[in-house]
Amino acid sequence: MAELEPRNFLQPCLLLLLREQADHGYELAARLRPMHDGDGDAGGVYRALRGLERQGLVRSEWESSGAGPARRTYHVTPEGEACLDAQARGLRRVDAALHVFLQRYARICGAPDSPERADRPADGRPRNGAGLSAGGPVQR
């Protein structure tokens, strides 16, 4: 069975990293590793960046340095920031649904709840407003 992962998770990860700071593709690939379970394929990162640029979600510019060839620096656009916000809302809904699944699985199979979920109350809803959709709390 294939490993489960949110579809197209690379896109919001790259937009988030670029919202933190503009960067070069190779550095983005290195910063991406803790967030994305990819194989660290820099080529995949560059392909994704070109796709984001075609969509108008990022822009790039060549930056020359005295110690080597010019490098392309990527920046998130206002459209990219809006897209990131929408994707984060969707990921919160997925997170809430996965948490409900894992709680039910633990209840039926006797598996302990993961320690990463210690920040959630007994009803499974995230604290501090996480898990809210544009229309209010996520319904279960």
Cβ distance 80 to 11 under 8 Å?
no
User: Comparing 127 with 49, which gets the higher pLDDT?
Assistant: 49
- Identify whether 75 is part of a domain: yes
Distance CA 99, CA 86 (A): 20
| Residue-averaged pLDDT of the chain | 79
Per-residue confidence (pLDDT) for residue 65, from 0 to 100 = 77
Taking alpha carbons only, the member of 106, 83, 97 closest to residue 131 is 97
Structure tokens, 67: 């110690």
Per-residue confidence (pLDDT) for residue 77, from 0 to 100 = 98
Q: What is the pLDDT of residues 86-113, one digit of tens each?
A: 999 999 999 999 999 999 999 999 866 5
- Identify whether 25 is part of a domain: yes
Read off the CATH number of the domain in which 49 is found.
1.10.10.10
pTM: 0.70
Per the structure, the complete domain to which residue 18 belongs is given by 7-112
- Identify whether 118 is part of a domain: no
Measured in whole angstroms, the distance separating CA 41 from the mean position of its chain's CA atoms is 16
| Domains of the chain: total | 1
- Identify whether 29 is part of a domain: yes
- Identify whether 126 is part of a domain: no
